[in-house]
Amino acid sequence: MRGVVDRGGLRVHLLDARLAGVVATAREVSLRSYRLFAARDPRVLIGIDPQGEWGQRDLLGLMAERCGVSADPRDTSGQDVIDPDRTLAALDSFADRLAAVAERRAPVFLGTGHPHRLLGFYVALAEALSAAGCAVLTPAQGRSVDITTRFGLRTHNLDYVRGVALVREPAAGHAGGEPGAHTHSPLPVRAALAAAAEASGPLPELVIGDHGWLCGAGQLGFAAIGPADTDDPAPFVGEAEGSVSVAVPLDDAVRSEYYRPLTRYVLNRACLSR
């Protein structure tokens, strides 16, 4: 694969692109998410049903451990920080999961709640896994899902772009168009996986996604891996409790092209580069 980056080069890129290091996510936003998670707000649980108590201090300690954010509760303003070495370690685990599923030529499912930013990342993974012999599953194409948004209950349709699931509002354009809607909801992945089970077809041995796609699948017992930002504690709680296999700490809302070196790195480590 042209442009493959080594570990040192990727670390530099993570910092330069602000995927790690000082990121755009505001400390106030992250702390608010921790408070809402501690209060069991479903908007922040995004599909995880926590086993532990997870108070605000517990969450802050977990996020400091998994992401590298400040563990000081008195630190209440400014920008969050992600330790790039934690990101690299998680990317290695992410790539190892890809390699294992590719070696077995096992079925996979990919979905994103960040199609504006992360669709290209997942499409590249889907294409590489398909080329390795994995079935990339696309169940429940066109199925309607009612999702609660800040504007109230809205109907979305499940769609796929080059093997990657996303949702779009019916008025957003024709099926197959881009980019789709931003969502944290676990309802789309639940609908997709339920449809796969109802059809008695193959079920994924690995789910790759973010937000509700990651947490919703993991809570259902599927091996699930994906990226998560510092204001999304649910994937890291899921990882700590065993329902999420790998949560990669990084800023999930930078420019889409900034994720390409990550794609090259994980595919090369997983021996899926072409």
Q: What is the pLDDT of residues 177-230, one digit of tens each?
A: 557 999 999 999 999 999 999 998 899 999 999 999 999 999 999 999 999 999
Q: Residue 4's pLDDT band (boundaries 50, 70, 90)?
A: low
Express each pLDDT in 137-184 by its tens digit: 999 999 999 988 777 788 999 999 999 999 998 875 554 455 799 999
Strand (E) or helix (H) holding 59: helix 56-66
121 CB neighbour count, 10 Å cutoff: 25
pLDDT of 174: 52
196 CB neighbour count, 10 Å cutoff: 19
Residue 63 tokens read as: 């996020």
Is the entire prediction scored with pTM above 0.85?
yes
**CA 188 to CA 212: how far, in whole Å?**
8
Nearest to 185 by CA among 46, 34, 36: 46
**CA 144 to CA 257: how far, in whole Å?**
31
Report the share of the chain in percent with pLDDT over 90: 88
